[in-house]
Structure 1
Amino acid sequence: MNLPLASNVKQKRPSLKSSYLWNSLLAKWHHRFGKTDEAILIWVDLLNRDSSKFRFKVVKCLIEAQAFQEARDYLEIQESKQHDQLPEINYLLARCYVGQALIPQAKKKIEQAIQVRPQNSIYWDLLADCFLELGDWREAIKALDNSLRAAPKHAETNYRLGIIYAFHDQDLEALRCFQGCCQLEPHESLYWEMKAEMHLRLEQLTDACNSFKNALRYGGTPDLAARLAYCYIQDNQIKKGIKYYKLTLKYESDHYDSLSNLAAVYQNLGRSQDAINLLERAKKIYPKDPILLNNYAFTLVHQGRTRKAAEYYREALELTPNHPLILYNLCVCLTRKGNWQEGIVLLNLLIEIDPNHSAGWALLGNIYDQIDQFDTAIDCFNRALKLA
C-alpha cells in the first residue's frame, strides 16, 4: 500500500515572538524590572496593530507607566469608533489629563462618563480628585459621598473623606468617617489610629486610648505604643502611660518622643534623676533641640543645680532667641541664685514680648521686693493681677 508523501512546503505560522500574548508578557517583564521605556514601546506597538478590539489592559498599563500622551493618542482615536465603550474611554482619558495636569479637561471627561454610568464609584473617585486639584474640597466631599452610595462597603472612600474633613478641622465628621472604616475593616490598624487621633482632638481621652490600643493590636509599632502612652498620661492613667513608654523604648531605644515625654512624667513624679537619665539619652540624639534643653535645665533646677541649668537655658535661647517660656525659666533660675540685675533685664525683655505675662510681672515684683524697691514691686504685682 502506497503512503501519501509529506509536502515539502512548510505551512506559514505566526511567530511566537510576534504574537500579542508574547509581547504583552515581554512588556510587563520589562516594566517589572525597571525598563519602562522598552515596555512603553512594546505597548504602543500593540495598540498600533490593526484590531477592532479595544485594548483596555494595554491602555491602563501605559497610564500606570505614566505614558499619558501615548495613551491619549490611542484613546482619542477610539472615541469615534467605540461608542459602547465611551464611558470607559472618557474615564481613561480623564486619568491621562490628570496625569498631564490638565484638570479642567479631566473634570469634563469624567463628568461625561458619570452621566452614562453614575453607579460607578471609580468615576466619582476621580471626579473628587479633580475637585481637590482645583481646591474645591466641599465639591470633592460631595463626589466621594456619591462614590459611597455606589459602593457603600468601600472603606478606602470613607478614609479619604475622613482625611479631608480632618485637614479642614471638621473633627466630628472625620471621626464618623473613621468609625465607618473601622466597622468595615476592623483589623486595619491605620483606621483605628486615625479614629484615635480624632478622639484625641475632641478630648475624648478614654475613647482615644481604646482606639490606639486596637491600632497597636492590629499593627504594633513603637510610634503607636508611644501615642497610646501619651493618651494614658493625658487621661491621668500614669502607670499605664509609663508601661507603654517603656514598651516603646524596649523595641526602639532611641525613640525621641518617648524619651522626652517619659522624662517629663518622671519629673512630675519627683523622680528627677530618672528624668535626667532619659534626657541625657535624648540629648545625644538631638543635642540642639531648644525644648529638650529647656526641660533638661528645668529638671536640673529641681536638683538644685542652678548654675548648670542656667547654662542650658542660655544655650536654648541661642537656638530660639526671645522664647517667652525659656526666658521666664532662666529668670527663675537667676532669681534663685540671687542674680537680681540680670533677672530684671531679662524680665523686662520678656514683658516687651508679652506685656500680659502675669508670672513675669509677679517674678519682677519679687525681685524689686528683695532689693527694697517696694513701690516698683507693688506696681509689678498690680500688673500681675491685672489691677493696673
Structure 2
Amino acid sequence: MGAPRIQYRGQQAHFREETAMTGAATSGSTRMSGVGLLSDLAALPWHQRPPAGWWPVAVSLAMGQAESAISRCRALAEALPDRLDLRARLGVMLLRAGGESAVQEAVDHLAPAVKRDPDHPHLRRWLAEALSRSGMPEAALAHLDAALRANPDLPELWMAKGKTLLALGRPEEALLYVDAALTGRPRSGALWNLRGLCLDELGRLQEAAEAYRKAALLLRTDGAAWANLGLALQKTGQTAEALRALLKAVRLRPSDPTLLNNVGYTLLRAGRTREAIESYRQASQLEPDSPLTLGNLAAALFEGGMMAEATRLLDAALERAPGDPTLLNNKGHLLLKAGQYREALACFEEALKRAPDNPAALANQAACYFALGRYEQALNAYRLAVATEPHNKQYLWSIGVCLERLGRAEEALQTYNQALGA
C-alpha cells in the first residue's frame, strides 16, 4: 500500500521588493539604502531653494535613520504646506521606508505635486507606485503611460510599468517592459529580480532561476534576491543549491518568518529533519499565532518522531484555523498512524470538503478505508488520487492491492503492469 502522506507548505510567495530600509542605522547596507533614497530624491524638482530644515532630513537619510528623517520631513511639510516639492519628497520617503500603512499618505503628498508638474517623469513614476500599492493599479498605469509618452527613453518608467502589469496578473506584458528597461540598465539587480518574477509567473522556471541568480550577484547583500533564487532552484529540483541560497538569505534577513518557513521546507527535502525543525521553531517564535508555521513545525516534528509535541501543535494550529485542509490532513495522518482510523477518516473527509482535489488527503482517506476493510471505497479514493497525480506509482500499486482484495486478480495484474511502466 502507498505510504500515507503528511503535507508541508513551503514555496511561499516570492519576494517582490528589495529589503526595506529600517529606522535603526547600524549596518553598511542600511546606510547604502539611505544614500540610494537620497539619490531618488535628487531626481525630483525643487521649485525654489530647499528650506533650511531640509538639511537635517538629508543628514538623517545619509546616516540610514529613515524613521527620524520621515519625522523631520513631515514636521517641515506641515510647517510649509505650500511647498509641494517638499511634500513630494516626503511621499517618496514614505513609499521607500514607511511601510504599507504609509502608502495612502504618500498618495496624498504626491498627487498635488504631479498636478503642479505633470510632465516630470519621476513624480509620475512615484505616484504610480503609490497608487498601485494602494490598490489602484489601473490609475497607476494611466500615469505611467502619460510619463512614457513624454519620456519614452527612461528605463525607470519601463520598469515601473512592468511592476504594475505584474501586479495586475499580466506577466507576459510585464516581461516586455522589463526587458526594455534592461536594455538601458543591464546591471540593475532590481530589474533582474523583476524579470525572474515575471518568468516565474509564466512557468519558465529555469529562466527565472537564471534571472534571480543575476539579481543576487548584483544585489549581494539583499536577502530578498537570494531568497527568490533559492525558491526558484527549489522548484527546479536543485535542492542543494537552493538551500545554499536560502541560508544566505536567512543570514541577511534573520527575522523573516516566511523565509525561515521555506528554509525548513528545503531542509526537509534534503533529509535534514533536525535542522528543519530548528528553522520552523525560529519561524514560530517570530509568528507564534501563525497556523501555517505551527502546522509546518508539527509536520516536521512528526517526521522527527516527536509525536506528542506534533499533536499538541497541530491542535493549537487547528484552533486558529479550524477548516484548514492541510492541517486537517496532517491531524488525520497522526490519527491514522496511531490506529484511530475512524477519527482519522473524519479529518480527511473534512479536509476534502474544502479541497476536493488534494491528492494527499485522498490517498490518506483511501488508506483509512483499506485499514477498515472497506476496499471498494479505498479503490475509488485511490482512483481519485491518481486522477490528480497520474504518474504516482504508489497510488497505482495501491489500486492493484485493492483489486486483489476484491477478487479482481486480472485487473490487479494489469494495474501492476501499468505501475511498472508509469
Q: Same fold (TM over 0.5)?
A: yes
Structure 2: how far apart are the matches of 1:320 and 1:133? 31
Structure 1: how far apart are the matches of 2:192 and 2:405? 59
In structure 2, give the amino acid aligned to 1:223. Answer: T
Say whether 1:143 aligns with 2:180.
yes
Asked if the contact 2:366–2:379 (Cα under 8 Å) also holds between the matched residues in 1, the reply is yes
In structure 2, give the amino acid aligned to 1:145. Answer: L
Q: Give the equivalent residue in structure 2 for 1:319.
A: 354
Asked if the contact 1:30–1:39 (Cα under 8 Å) also holds between the matched residues in 2, the reply is no
Asked if the contact 1:245–1:262 (Cα under 8 Å) also holds between the matched residues in 2, the reply is yes
Structure 2: how far apart are the matches of 1:132 and 1:214? 26
Asked if the contact 2:175–2:198 (Cα under 8 Å) also holds between the matched residues in 1, the reply is no
* Runs of 5+ unmatched residues, structure 1: 1-18, 45-55, 77-87, 369-373
Say whether 1:344 aligns with 2:395.
no
Inter-CA distance 23–29: structure 2 relative to 1 (3 Å threshold): farther
Inter-CA distance 35–237: structure 2 relative to 1 (3 Å threshold): same
Q: Give the equivalent residue in structure 2 for 1:174.
A: 208
What's the C-alpha RMSD, in Å, of the aligned pairs? 4.3
Structure 2: how far apart are the matches of 1:262 and 1:345? 32
Say whether 1:163 aligns with 2:213.
no
Asked if the contact 1:290–1:319 (Cα under 8 Å) also holds between the matched residues in 2, the reply is yes
CA displacement, residues 32-56 of structure 1 (integer Å, 9 cap, x when unaligned): 37999x977x257xxxxxxxxxxx7
Q: Give the equivalent residue in structure 1 for 2:151.
A: 113
Asked if the contact 1:317–1:323 (Cα under 8 Å) also holds between the matched residues in 2, the reply is yes
Kindly name which structure, 1 or 2, has the bigger radius of gyration based on alpha carbons: 1
Q: Describe the SS at the equivalent of 1:101.
A: helix
Inter-CA distance 125–202: structure 2 relative to 1 (3 Å threshold): same
Structure 1: how far apart are the matches of 2:117 and 2:222? 38
User: Pick from 393, 399, 406: which aligns with 1:361?
Assistant: 399
Structure 1: how far apart are the matches of 2:290 and 2:91? 43
Q: Describe the SS at the equivalent of 2:194.
A: helix
User: Pick from 202, 206, 211: which aligns with 2:240?
Assistant: 206
Q: Give the equivalent residue in structure 2 for 1:15.
A: none
In structure 2, give the amino acid aligned to 1:344. Answer: E
Asked if the contact 1:228–1:241 (Cα under 8 Å) also holds between the matched residues in 2, the reply is yes
Inter-CA distance 97–280: structure 2 relative to 1 (3 Å threshold): closer
**Deviation, structure 1 residue 96:** 7.2
**Deviation, structure 1 residue 140:** 0.9
**Deviation, structure 1 residue 233:** 1.4
Say whether 1:233 aligns with 2:243.
no
Number of aligned positions between the proteins: 324
Query: Is 93-102 or 293-302 further displaced after alignment?
Result: 93-102
Say whether 1:32 aligns with 2:74.
yes
In structure 1, give the amino acid aligned to 2:396. Answer: S
Q: Describe the SS at the equivalent of 2:274.
A: helix
Structure 1: how far apart are the matches of 2:284 and 2:117? 55
Asked if the contact 2:193–2:215 (Cα under 8 Å) also holds between the matched residues in 1, the reply is yes
Identity %: 17
Say whether 1:292 aligns with 2:322.
no
CA displacement, residues 257-315 of structure 1 (integer Å, 9 cap, x when unaligned): 44333433444455544433332333233222222222222222222222322332333
In structure 2, give the amino acid aligned to 1:285. Answer: R
* Runs of 5+ unmatched residues, structure 2: 1-47, 55-69, 93-105, 132-137
Q: Give the equivalent residue in structure 1 for 2:62.
A: none
In structure 1, give the amino acid aligned to 2:376. Answer: I
Structure-to-structure mapping, 1:241-260, within 5 angstroms? 241-260=276-295
In structure 1, give the amino acid aligned to 2:179. Answer: K
**Deviation, structure 1 residue 145:** 1.0
Structure 2: how far apart are the matches of 1:352 and 1:246? 35
Structure 1: how far apart are the matches of 2:144 and 2:351? 51
**Deviation, structure 1 residue 74:** 4.3
**Deviation, structure 1 residue 31:** 8.7
TM-score norm. by structure 1 comes to 0.65
**Deviation, structure 1 residue 170:** 3.6
Q: Give the equivalent residue in structure 2 for 1:128.
A: 159
Asked if the contact 2:291–2:318 (Cα under 8 Å) also holds between the matched residues in 1, the reply is no
User: Pick from 318, 322, 341: which aligns with 1:283?
Assistant: 318
Q: Which has the higher contact order (CA 8 A, sep 6+)?
A: 2
**Deviation, structure 1 residue 318:** 3.8
**Deviation, structure 1 residue 195:** 2.0
Structure 2: how far apart are the matches of 1:226 and 1:331? 29
Say whether 1:329 aligns with 2:391.
no
Asked if the contact 1:205–1:235 (Cα under 8 Å) also holds between the matched residues in 2, the reply is yes
Inter-CA distance 124–249: structure 2 relative to 1 (3 Å threshold): closer
In structure 2, give the amino acid aligned to 1:169. Answer: G
Structure 2: how far apart are the matches of 1:266 and 1:29? 46
CA displacement, residues 116-155 of structure 1 (integer Å, 9 cap, x when unaligned): xx5xxxx211133346657523431232213314xx4x43
